[in-house]
Structure 1
C-alpha cells in the first residue's frame, strides 16, 4: 500500500474542540508516517503527549515528529528510552528461554514480535512483558525448568487455585523481566468457551523469527494476524497501537482466504471484522474490499460497527471507558448475541459507576506448592478432556471441554508428586 504524500500547511488551533481534533489528527499522522508542521500551543502539546501515552504510541510519536518539532515533545524521550530498554531486555530473556526450552515446542507471541516485525520503527513498540506459548502437556516441565533456573512465580494463590484455570501464569526472570507463560492464548475460561483456538495447531504451524541475536519461533502470519485482531477486540480496540499492529501485520499476509478460514475456525470473525474496519478507517490499511462479506458478518452487526466508529473514533479516545471499547468487547458472531452481550455489558458498566467502593481490600497470599499443583493438574485435566471431546471417543460427551473442574483422581494427587520440587528424584 502506498500512503498519500505529506500535505502542506499546518494545524490551526483556534478552539479547544479544534485543538482536540488537531491532536487526534497528529496521532494518526504519527501512526502512518506523515510529517507536517506542528502549530500546537503548550496546552495542546501536553494533550498530545498524554494522548500518545494513552494510545501507546509515545515512542513512535517522538521518532516521527522529532524533538525539534516542539519543546514540549521532549517529555516523550523517557518513553522512547523505556521502550528501547524493554525490548532489549526482552531479547535477552528470549535468548535465555531459547536455551532453557531448546527441546520443547514453544513460541513467542505479541509484544516483542509485533515490535520487531510490524511496528513502523522496529524496537519502539510499547509493551510490558514477554508472552510465551507452550502446549498444555508441556507446561509442568517448562515450569520445572524455569524454577530450577532461578525464575520466580509471582501469581497469587487465588489465581492458581481457581476451579477454572486461567490461560496463563506469570514468572519473573532472574534479571527482573516479566514473562506471561501461556498454555492457551485466551486467558479467561469464559472466553475459552467462546473461541476455539487449539494450542497444538498453533505450535504445529509456527515459523521462525529473529528477535535480537536469537532466532526463535512465533505464530505463522495468518495465526498472528487473527490473534492480533482477537486480542485487540478483547482489549477494547480503542488504542492506536492495536491498529498499528494490525496494519503492519497485514503486509505479512499472503493468503486472505486462510485468514478467513482461521477466523471462522476460532469463532473470531466478528473480532477480525471490527478491528480491520477500524484499521482501514483510521490508518487506511490496505485490506481486501470484500473481507467483511467473506467473514460472513450479518449486516446489522456491520451497521453497528460503522455507527460506533463514526460516533466514537479511536483517535479521539483519551480514556479506557467508552463506546468504542464497550462494543469491541461485546461483539459476537450473530446480531442477537451482540445485542444481548452489549446490553448486559452496558448495564454492568452503569452499575459499576454508582456502586459503593468497598472499605478495604482483602490481603492476597502468594502462590504456594499446593496452589501450583492444583493449577498444573487442572490444566492437564482440561487438556485431556478437550482431547477426548475432539477425538470423539466414548469417554466424555461433546461439550465436556466446556465443563471445567478437576476429576477426583486429580484432586487426590499427593503433593510429593509435584514435578517442581527443587531436587527431583
Structure 2
C-alpha cells in the first residue's frame, strides 16, 4: 500500500535512505518484503549501502535483511578505499606530468557531495582531460601502473568514443574521458565545453591527505544532470547526486542556466531537476525554473509516465527504461525523433544479438592494430567532434 505521497513502503525506504535518514524500526508494512527483493531494489538504484546504513540501528530488522544488506555496505567501503588509493596514484602521476585533469562522480562524489562515503554505491573512477592531452595522459597512467582494458583499436577508430577504460593498480576500473559526451551522436546533439570546464575547475583536498581536481559547483551540477539524463534518470543514486550537489555548496542558478543553454541541455536539465524535486523534495526544480525554462511539453510526458508508477520504481515495474529522459532535446519534434530512433536502434541490436553470439565487451578484445591506434589518437588530438 502506498503512503500519502504515493510511494510504496519499499520505495519510501529507498528514498529515506538516500536522504540519509535513519530508521528507528521496521514496521509491518516493510517487514513483509523478502530480503532478496529489498536487496534487488536497493541495488537497482545503487543505494544498497545507504539502505544498510539507514537500518543499522533500527529495531525489528528481519535478520535476513541484515545478512544480505550489510555486505553491500562493507563492500562499498572497501571499494572506496581502493578507489581513493588509486586516485592518489593517478593524481601524483598526472600532476607530475603537468596534465590538467579532474575526477568526476565516483570517489569525489562520495567524499565531497554525499553526507557519508558509505552511502553512494559506485564501481569505477572517471577522469576528464583535454583531448589534446589524451594520448599523453594514457602514456603517463600506463607508466604509473594502470593497464589498458579497451584495446580493440579498429572498433575505437570506427566508434570514435570519447573514453577509454584502464585498470588501476588496486583494481579500480578507470574511465579516461576527453569529453563527457562519449558517443559521437551526443557530441553532435549537445555542445560540451571541456576546455571551459577544465579552466574553471578547482583543486580540493581529500581527507586522505592529497589534492584532486574537481569541476566547479555549477559544472558539477550540469555534468551530473547530463550523465543522469543520458542514463534515463532511472537510478535514485543519480537523482541524489543532484540533490546533494545543489544543497551542498551554494550554486549560482543563473550560471547553471547559462551553461545549460550553451550546452543545449536546458530541457533535459529542467526535466531531471523536476524529477529530483518530486522525488526527494527541496527546491532544485523551482530554483532552476526561476532562471531557466520549465520541463515543457516533453517534460509533461515524463511527469505523466511517472504518475503511472511513482518514482523510484521497483524491479518488475513498467516504465523503468528512462527513454523519455534519455531522448529529451530542445524541441518537441527533435525529442520525438531521438526517441523513435533509439527505439529502432534498440530493436536492431536485440535482433542482431539473437542471430549471433558476440562478446559481451567487444572493446575489451585485444586487437593491437598500430595503425588504427595512431589514427584514433590523431583524430582525438585534431579536435573534430
TM bin, normalised by shorter chain, reads 0.7 to 0.9
Residue 150 of structure 1: CA displacement?
Answer: 2.9
Query: Equivalent of 2:94, from 98, 101, 110?
Result: 101
Of stretches 21-30 and 237-246 in structure 1, the one that deviates more from structure 2 is 21-30
Task: Indicate the residue corresponding to 2:270 in structure 1.
Answer: 273
Aligned residues: 369
Taking the aligned partners of 2:321 and 2:309, their CA distance within structure 1 comes to 6
SS in 2 for 1:316: coil
Task: Indicate the residue corresponding to 2:49 in structure 1.
Answer: 59
Query: Is residue 237–residue 275 contact of structure 1 (8 Å, CA) maintained in 2?
Result: yes
SS in 1 for 2:358: coil
- TM-score, normalised to structure 2, is 0.87
Task: Indicate the residue corresponding to 2:258 in structure 1.
Answer: 261
Taking the aligned partners of 1:328 and 1:98, their CA distance within structure 2 comes to 34
Residue 334 of structure 1: CA displacement?
Answer: 0.7
Q: Deviations over 1:326-368 (max 9, x none)?
A: 1111111111111222233344556666777123226953142
2:369 is the alignment partner of 1:366: no
Larger Rg: 1
SS in 2 for 1:101: helix
SS in 1 for 2:8: helix
Query: RCO (CA 8 Å, sep 6+): is it higher in 1 or 2?
Result: 2
Query: Is residue 233–residue 325 contact of structure 2 (8 Å, CA) maintained in 1?
Result: yes
Task: Indicate the residue corresponding to 2:138 in structure 1.
Answer: 143
Task: Indicate the residue corresponding to 1:291 in structure 2.
Answer: 288
Q: Deviations over 1:10-58 (max 9, x none)?
A: x999xxxxxx921112111212234353123454443222100111000
Residue 199 of structure 1: CA displacement?
Answer: 1.4
Gaps of 5+ in 1: 1-10, 14-19, 384-400, 403-425
Residue 232 of structure 1: CA displacement?
Answer: 0.4
Alignment of 1:107-186 (within 5 A): 107-158=102-153, 161-186=156-181
Taking the aligned partners of 1:238 and 1:362, their CA distance within structure 2 comes to 26
Query: Is residue 125–residue 173 contact of structure 2 (8 Å, CA) maintained in 1?
Result: yes
Taking the aligned partners of 1:350 and 1:153, their CA distance within structure 2 comes to 31
Of stretches 259-268 and 298-307 in structure 1, the one that deviates more from structure 2 is 298-307
2:381 is the alignment partner of 1:380: yes
Alignment of 1:235-250 (within 5 A): 235-250=231-246
SS in 2 for 1:313: coil
SS in 2 for 1:98: helix
Taking the aligned partners of 1:70 and 1:178, their CA distance within structure 2 comes to 35
Query: Is residue 221–residue 249 contact of structure 1 (8 Å, CA) maintained in 2?
Result: yes
Taking the aligned partners of 1:358 and 1:249, their CA distance within structure 2 comes to 44
Task: Indicate the residue corresponding to 2:25 in structure 1.
Answer: 37
Query: Is residue 271–residue 294 contact of structure 2 (8 Å, CA) maintained in 1?
Result: no
- TM-score, normalised to structure 1, is 0.79
SS in 1 for 2:51: helix
Taking the aligned partners of 1:161 and 1:118, their CA distance within structure 2 comes to 33
Task: Indicate the residue corresponding to 2:330 in structure 1.
Answer: 333
SS in 1 for 2:213: strand
2:74 is the alignment partner of 1:77: no
Relative to 1, partners in 2 of residues 1:351 and 1:167: Cα closer, same or farther, differing over 3 Å? Answer: closer
Query: Is residue 253–residue 291 contact of structure 2 (8 Å, CA) maintained in 1?
Result: no
Alignment of 1:341-352 (within 5 A): 341-349=338-346
Query: Is residue 107–residue 219 contact of structure 1 (8 Å, CA) maintained in 2?
Result: yes
SS in 2 for 1:193: helix
Task: Indicate the residue corresponding to 2:217 in structure 1.
Answer: 221
Taking the aligned partners of 1:187 and 1:80, their CA distance within structure 2 comes to 30
CA RMSD, Structure 1 to Structure 2 (Å): 2.7
Task: Indicate the residue corresponding to 2:201 in structure 1.
Answer: 206
Taking the aligned partners of 2:317 and 2:194, their CA distance within structure 1 comes to 30
Taking the aligned partners of 1:314 and 1:327, their CA distance within structure 2 comes to 14
Gaps of 5+ in 2: none
Query: Is residue 59–residue 77 contact of structure 1 (8 Å, CA) maintained in 2?
Result: yes
Q: Deviations over 1:158-189 (max 9, x none)?
A: 56542352111111123322111111111111
Residue 371 of structure 1: CA displacement?
Answer: 3.6
Of stretches 163-172 and 226-235 in structure 1, the one that deviates more from structure 2 is 163-172
Query: Is residue 226–residue 272 contact of structure 1 (8 Å, CA) maintained in 2?
Result: yes
